[in-house]
Amino acid sequence: MDEQDLIARLLDGDESAFKTVVDTYKKMVYNTVLAFVQNVGDAEDITQDVFIKVYENIGKFKQQSKLSTWIYRISITQATDFIRYKNRKKRGGFLVSLFGNNQELIHEPVDFIHPGILAENKERSVILFKAINQLPENQKTAFLLQKTQDCSQQKISEIMQLSEGAVESLLTRAKSNLKKQLTNYYSSL
């Protein structure tokens, strides 16, 4: 079945077409979301939300791009919206004290380990993901799509709806910013 037939069946409410979409794109969506939120449970929940959005909004899909590109956009939007919500919630008074009465640290922040990272590289990956999380949102998105999803600059430009030159610039700035952060980190050891 080609993409046009699949979309037509989705528009008709065909449940087997929706199952085909989920089976085809669930790994892509999960890995994309996981790279952003860095929590397995949250990534699983957001992945479900992405497919609910696809199902509910297939009528709004203009078919000016591939279905996979549209699903990438929804995935990134859901993941970044989740991060914004989580950060707002932290700032909005939902802070749980990290320190007890004697000012000793009660909760250590959880380090994220991506499942695709080899055991011997886990410590470095934690440091890298902390640095990636400091990047501006567009740089982070372009960098993660390229490095965790192996997307070409052309594919990233379609997903982010930017020119290839803008994507190239984002990637260059992301790499430069990461280099500065990591150099500062390792020089302070």
Domain ranges of the chain: 1-95, 106-189
> Would you say domain 1-95 falls under CATH 1.10.1740.10?
yes
Question: Can you list the residues of the chain whose pLDDT is less than 50?
Answer: 92-111
The rounded distance, in Å, linking the Cα atoms of 170 and 162 is: 10
Residue-level pLDDT at 124: 79
Residue-level pLDDT at 95: 39
- Percent of all residues in the chain with a pLDDT value above 70, rounded to a whole number: 82
Backbone dihedral angles phi then psi of residue 14, each to the nearest 5 degrees: -70, 115
Residue-level pLDDT at 119: 54
The rounded distance, in Å, linking the Cα atoms of 8 and 171 is: 36
Residue-level pLDDT at 153: 95
Give the chain's mean pLDDT.
85
The rounded distance, in Å, linking the Cα atoms of 10 and 166 is: 33
The rounded distance, in Å, linking the Cα atoms of 125 and 119 is: 10
The rounded distance, in Å, linking the Cα atoms of 159 and 134 is: 22
The rounded distance, in Å, linking the Cα atoms of 128 and 186 is: 11
What CATH number does the domain located at 106-189 have? 1.10.10.10
